[in-house]
Amino acid sequence: MTRVLLVDDQALVRSGFTMILRSAGLDVVGEAADGLEAVKLARALRPDVILMDIRMPALDGLEATRRILAESPQPRVIMLTTFDLDRYVYAALAAGASGFLLKDVTPEHLVNAVRLVSTGDALLSPSITRRLVQRFAQPGGDQPQVPADLSTLTPRELEVLRLVGRGLSNSEIAASLTLSEATVKTHVARIFAKLDLRDRAQAVVVAYETGLITPTSPDLPEGTY
């Protein structure tokens, strides 16, 4: 059973999300009201997924995410935000978060999101990802950089990374490059290993911050989380 830690300074949000997740058979192992408490509980409870509010007292969700993932790469972090273009979301992806959700998310979407990231995937919508990058990943910005040496990648792996950065799924990449989905999965795994990436969220950040693709690229295909 997927173990979930809820972190939000609003008790109503925590109780509502807890009820939704538990009714879906997910195990909410703890709740925290600020980032400092989240770091302590993550260390003690070892959750699989952490739902992390961005703006909190004592320690914000961004710094809490950095500290938690620096201690252990195991938990997958989903950032919770009120605004879909919150500038901290992009920084959170670079810090290792696996995606983000708006707090007015539907119960079904919330449950699906937790299950998705628990399998090791990232929570990314092509349209929202592109808007984030357009707004916050401009050259010369002050966003945290994700170190990456693309010279270690083969030409095919560069092609795959470019499409991952545009928000395509493995099946969509397979169709675009006339490959089997299994072959694409192998390429993606090798890219992650070579660039020391956690998941597709960081792959998107790398694709833009290294200039492999740019915010002025053609419109991305619409997709769902």
| Summary mean pLDDT of the chain | 83
Give the amino acid at 46.
Answer: R
Same domain, 100 and 187: no
Same domain, 107 and 175: no
- Do 63 and 114 fall into the same domain? yes
Distance from first CA to last CA of the chain, Å, rounded?
21
User: Do 149 and 116 share a structural domain?
Assistant: no
Report which of 152, 144, 156 is spatially closest to residue 202, judged by C-alpha positions. Answer: 144
CATH number of the domain that residue 101 is part of: 3.40.50.2300
Angle at the Cα of 44 (from 40 to 46), degrees rounded to 5? 110
Decide the pairing of beta strands 3-7 and 76-81: unpaired
Q: What is the pLDDT of residues 137-194, one digit of tens each?
A: 555 444 445 556 788 999 999 999 998 887 777 888 999 999 999 999 999 999 999 9
Is the pTM of the predicted complex or chain greater than 0.85?
A: no
Query: Quick one: pLDDT at residue 124?
Result: 66
Q: Tell me whether residue 153 is in a domain.
A: yes
For the chain, residues with pLDDT lower than 50 are 140-144, 218-225
CA of residue 64 relative to chain centroid, distance: 15
